[in-house]
Amino acid sequence: MNPWGHFKTITHHKLLVMIYCFRVGLIRQGLLHDLSKYSWTEFRIGAKYYSGTHSPNASEREEIGYSTAWLHHKGRNKHHLEYWMDYSGRDFQMTGQPMPTRYMVELCIDRIAACKVYHGKAYTDADPLAYLNRSRDAKLMHPRTKAQVVEILTMLAEKGERATLRYIRKEILSHPVACYANLPDQAEHPEEKDFAFLNGDALKGLANELETPFYLYDEQTIRDRCRQLFDAFSWNPGHRQFFPVKATPTPAVLKVLREEGSGVVCSSAAEMELCRACGFEPDEILFMSNYPEKRDIKAAAALGCPVILDGPGLTESYAELGMLNHGVGLRINPGGVFRFGLSEAQLDGLKFGFTPDGAVECIRELQALGVTSVGLHSYLSGNTLEPDYYPEICRSLVSIAKDLTARTGVRIAFLNISGGLGIPYRPEDRPLDLKAVAESVRTVLETETAGTPLAGIPVYTELGRWVTGPAGLLVTRVNHVRNGFRRIAGTDASASNLMRPMMYQAYHHISAAGKEGSLERSPWDVVGTVSENTDKFAADRMLPELVPGDLLKIHDAGAHGYSMGYQYGGRLRCAEYLLGTDGKARMIRRAETTADYLSTMIF
């Protein structure tokens, strides 16, 4: 029992918080901060378990399995994220709710003060951010709150205390968010996204001629987006685009992409054979396989295409097969936390790529085999609408390129900033301005490489979802309607046609042909035919009144849709059609039959 030591510690902490709160203008919060720690319920626990270097609450948890002091404290102090935990949505899952700005700021200040108290003279401005990264706090926070906290603590680590407090006072607290409703985001006008490249009677007329479900792709949209991509990066003479075949492995689509100047990324022997059949030349095919199988390696060797090494242990076998003679790149995983704008990605758990030190070892192995130049590749986040992602991944690769050149003398031949740019699946999402993103990449390159051998280096992209995602619809028909605890529309499609909602709980907008733009809506579950409760395209989706026979469009299904299909439950994959620039739809893949299903079975 050390009541005096505990009193000095909590008072030291409170005074630090009070000073910081006063500096940013939170006078009342500074005065009231952590007063409950002086109550008998909390103070006696702090005195009993006091050590000076370890939280008394943590010590109490270690002894009895929970902390009575913390249970008392968290419900009386709004600067703790646990105060803002609540049940959300119809499924009543416990999740973090958005914190009002002033309490979010107090949380950051509280963390700074706590690190100063416990770390003493060893404290640095990077400590609060490091604590957040290794704690469970970031996992519990609402994404919007987390983005704000990460922004503040990153600024503290990079620019110091004075600049950060000034930014909090003049920017963050000058534009506060008073409170958020305890509800999921709702689109202001969901009906605006109902319209696609084919709508209403035109789509219903087509569907009456075909068997639902089916995929429909729009050729003009694919061509337009390819042209936008090449125009955005036209400032880089060496720019090349490689479409990831896994996104849409459909010959008619791949042929359109090649006509528009795109190459492809393949990860398997089957994908390479598909692309050769579509007319792609070896130098237009980039082979990048994660833990490749022998048959995939042999196929790439026979083809003679450029390769991206995804990790150690491949150099010698690739060299023996002559695979390093057509251009080679290294996939890089810088590790730690990758931040871009208000977003971040944890990289330590990724199974992909070389660490920077591992890349040095690989380059030296390659140099011993006669390789004098390599490209660098990195893919660190998927489906992001954050415009800073491409510029920051470019900045990261430039920094790594400089380090690798200094340590090995290797020439860096290209920077492959890969894919990861998302599309606005939800009505409230705002699409990326690809032209502006590309200009930001240009600014980073010109600034970071000026006067170095990297100046003017070619930039490669691997945009898949961005190119074909908005160009595809899954068209399905309502077969059954049930009204019980929930209103359910059963369709003739299933996860065998579109797995993303079942696998990732991914959102795809859904609209009813002929009812686009309807303002009269109620919540519906739109479900598939597989006997699994997770086979749902949407839950509680605000849709017009649905009846059997209604035709539904599942939007933005042009990438990672058909390609992820399967045959679980004997459900067969559907046909694909391409809506040509002449306005006519033609079949580009027939629907599977029972004969296809049985063809590989041995009776």
* Predicted local confidence at residue 91, as pLDDT: 47
Query: Residue 445: which of 171, 235, 244, 188 has the closest Cα?
Result: 235
User: Is the Cβ–Cβ distance between 113 and 105 less than 8 Å?
Assistant: no
Span 236-254, pLDDT tens digits: 999 999 999 999 999 999 9
* Predicted local confidence at residue 140, as pLDDT: 80
Residues 253, 174: Cα–Cα separation, whole Å: 50
Residue indicated by tokens 């709980």: 505
* Predicted local confidence at residue 143, as pLDDT: 79
Query: Residue 554: which of 574, 569, 571, 580 has the closest Cα?
Result: 574
Q: How much is the average pLDDT of 256-285?
A: 98
Query: Residue 554: which of 598, 491, 505, 503 has the closest Cα?
Result: 491
Query: Residue 565: which of 502, 489, 498 has the closest Cα?
Result: 498
Q: How many CB atoms lie within 10 A of CB 411?
A: 15
Span 436-467, pLDDT tens digits: 999 999 999 999 999 999 999 999 999 999 99
Q: Residue 504 burial by CB count (10 A; 0-12/13-18/19+): exposed, middle or buried?
A: exposed
Residues 113, 585: Cα–Cα separation, whole Å: 65
Residues 329, 6: Cα–Cα separation, whole Å: 57
Q: How much is the average pLDDT of 102-111?
A: 93
Span 287-298, pLDDT tens digits: 999 889 999 999
Most distant CA atoms of the chain, gap in Å:
84
Give the burial string for 381-404 (b: 16+ CB within 10 Å, else e).
Answer: bebbbbbbbbbbbbbbbbebbbeb
Q: 185 falls in which pLDDT band (50, 70, 90)?
A: very low
Q: 190 falls in which pLDDT band (50, 70, 90)?
A: confident
Residues 264, 285: Cα–Cα separation, whole Å: 5
Percent share of the chain, pLDDT over 90:
75
Structure tokens at 229: 């991509």
Span 89-99, pLDDT tens digits: 544 567 788 88
Residues 510, 555: Cα–Cα separation, whole Å: 6
Lowest mean pLDDT among 74-83, 237-246, 252-261, 593-602: 74-83
Strand locations in 271-418, DSSP E?
285-287, 307-309, 328-331, 337-340, 343-346, 373-377, 411-416
User: Is the Cβ–Cβ distance between 344 and 148 less than 8 Å?
Assistant: no
Q: 58 falls in which pLDDT band (50, 70, 90)?
A: confident
Query: Residue 523: which of 555, 486, 551, 491 has the closest Cα?
Result: 486
Span 577-593, pLDDT tens digits: 999 999 999 999 999 99
H or E element: which one contains 221? helix 219-232
Q: How much is the average pLDDT of 111-119?
A: 91
Residue indicated by tokens 């459900």: 571
**Average pLDDT value over all residues in the chain:** 92
CATH number, domain 190-197+470-598: 2.40.37.10
User: Is the Cβ–Cβ distance between 405 and 450 less than 8 Å?
Assistant: no
Q: Residue 517 burial by CB count (10 A; 0-12/13-18/19+): exposed, middle or buried?
A: middle
Distances (CA, A) of 119 to 45, 112, 125, 134: 22, 10, 11, 16
Q: 348 falls in which pLDDT band (50, 70, 90)?
A: confident
Distances (CA, A) of 383 to 63, 230, 237, 521, 599: 44, 20, 27, 29, 36
- Res. 315: pLDDT tops 50: yes
Query: Residue 546: which of 476, 498, 494, 497 has the closest Cα?
Result: 476
Highest mean pLDDT pick, 87-91, 110-114, 122-126, 279-283 = 279-283
Span 525-581, pLDDT tens digits: 999 999 898 899 999 999 999 999 999 999 999 999 999 999 999 999 999 999 999
Residues 316, 370: Cα–Cα separation, whole Å: 12
DSSP per residue over 269-299, as a string? HHHHHHHHHTT--GGGEEE--SS--HHHHHH
User: Is the Cβ–Cβ distance between 289 and 310 less than 8 Å?
Assistant: yes
- Res. 320: pLDDT tops 70: yes
Provide the residue ranges of all domains of the chain, joining segments of one domain with +: 3-172, 190-197+470-598, 222-466
* Predicted local confidence at residue 51, as pLDDT: 84
* Predicted local confidence at residue 371, as pLDDT: 95
Q: 188 falls in which pLDDT band (50, 70, 90)?
A: low
Q: Residue 299 burial by CB count (10 A; 0-12/13-18/19+): exposed, middle or buried?
A: buried
Instruction: Report which DSSP code applies to 379.
Output: -
pTM of this prediction?
A: 0.77
- Relative to beta strand 487-491, strand 522-527 is parallel
Residues 45, 59: Cα–Cα separation, whole Å: 9
User: Is the Cβ–Cβ distance between 359 and 332 less than 8 Å?
Assistant: yes
Residues 143, 438: Cα–Cα separation, whole Å: 26
Return the CATH architecture of domain 222-466: Alpha-Beta Barrel (3.20)
Residues 422, 265: Cα–Cα separation, whole Å: 18
Span 210-219, pLDDT tens digits: 999 999 999 9
- Res. 183: pLDDT tops 70: no
Q: 88 falls in which pLDDT band (50, 70, 90)?
A: low
* Predicted local confidence at residue 90, as pLDDT: 44
Structure tokens at 517: 């733009």
Distances (CA, A) of 410 to 41, 328, 466: 64, 12, 33
Instruction: Report which DSSP code applies to 175.
Output: S
